[in-house]
Amino acid sequence: MPVRRRPLSERGQLELFRARGSDLAPRDTQDLMAYPFFSLSKSHRIQPIDFSAGDVVIRVEAVPEHGMATIWDADILIWAASQIVEARDAGLRTSRLMAATPYEILTFIGRGVGARDYQRLKAALDRLQSTTVATTIRQPAQGRRRRFSWINEWVERTDRRGRPAGIELIVPDWFYQAVLDDALVLTIDRDYFSLTGGLDRWLYRLVRKHGGRQRAGWRFDFRHLYLKSGSLSPFKRLPSSCATSSDASRCPGTPCSSRSKSAAGCCSPLSHLLKGDLWTASCYREPALSCHREPEARAIGNPNRG
């Protein structure tokens, strides 16, 4: 009787890719910069994120045990993207199965390297693995949703004395394919990791993605901006929060400005921000003369919390 071979696990089918150090340019994927995939608060979030704009539909779900992955947890994905792009550009083979030491990851993302920092790293990996995403982004068939977790699995390796010796993790194919596409990856400022506020981090990524090097900048109305954040904070807090986050010290490497649209139809100074209903971000120092607008976004089954 022929012996049945057990199918190889995902780990068994992938070649191990070892990290190449921490002195690399940070790279981020544009999809993650433009849409609400992460909690902007460090508090334990269970409530899903539901977002819809045009053909783009996103639902992010968390489990009670770990809560939703946060925008700080996403630093690990920035580390992974940076490693993959650097190795590919050097002509090396890459893989979704990645190996590194906690020290390499923590130093790259600007964290401490003590025992508490290592425990926080493991908690972040747990949230990334347990958070599930369903989205239509980059799906060939209209309306088709791809479901995945930010990390398929991760393993902690220890030495004979039980001390941490390294981490192995598998990133999802949806994320990996985006990283391999030059058109979907942007370099970000290393000072991004020093931003402490969730809104500050989200706003920097949004401006870096949409503003880019467009002299005209990019404009959102506050309602659209609010839906793109996925935030649980009341809508009425957004204008003042954007005004604070638009300060140059919170926009590393990107001279940002925040403006509102006056009744006359032109961009007025920041002092009028709270009176307007539009927010403009520009990565240039010149005044924004005209602005590009995005399709209207809406939350699915999400009542106005303002």
Residue-range domain boundaries for the chain: 10-187, 195-293
Q: Please, what is the average pLDDT of the chain?
A: 79
- pLDDT band at residue 248 under the 50/70/90 scheme: very low
pLDDT of residue 303: 42
Average pLDDT estimate for 233-248: 62
How far is the C-alpha of 208 from the C-alpha of 107, rounded, in Å?
23
**What digits encode the pLDDT tens for the residues 263-273?**
333 232 222 23
| DSSP structure string for 52-81 | EETTEEEEEE--TTT-PPBTTTTHHHHHHH
Amino acid identity of 89? D
Half-sphere exposure of 158 (CA within 13 A, CB side): 4
**Ramachandran region of residue 161, left (φ > 0), alpha (ψ -120 to 50) or beta?**
alpha
Segment among 100-109, 181-190, 245-254, 285-294 with least mean pLDDT: 285-294
What is the value of pTM for the model shown?
0.79
282-255-243-220 Cα dihedral, nearest 10 degrees: 20
- pLDDT band at residue 83 under the 50/70/90 scheme: very high
Segment among 18-22, 185-189, 206-210, 293-297 with least mean pLDDT: 293-297
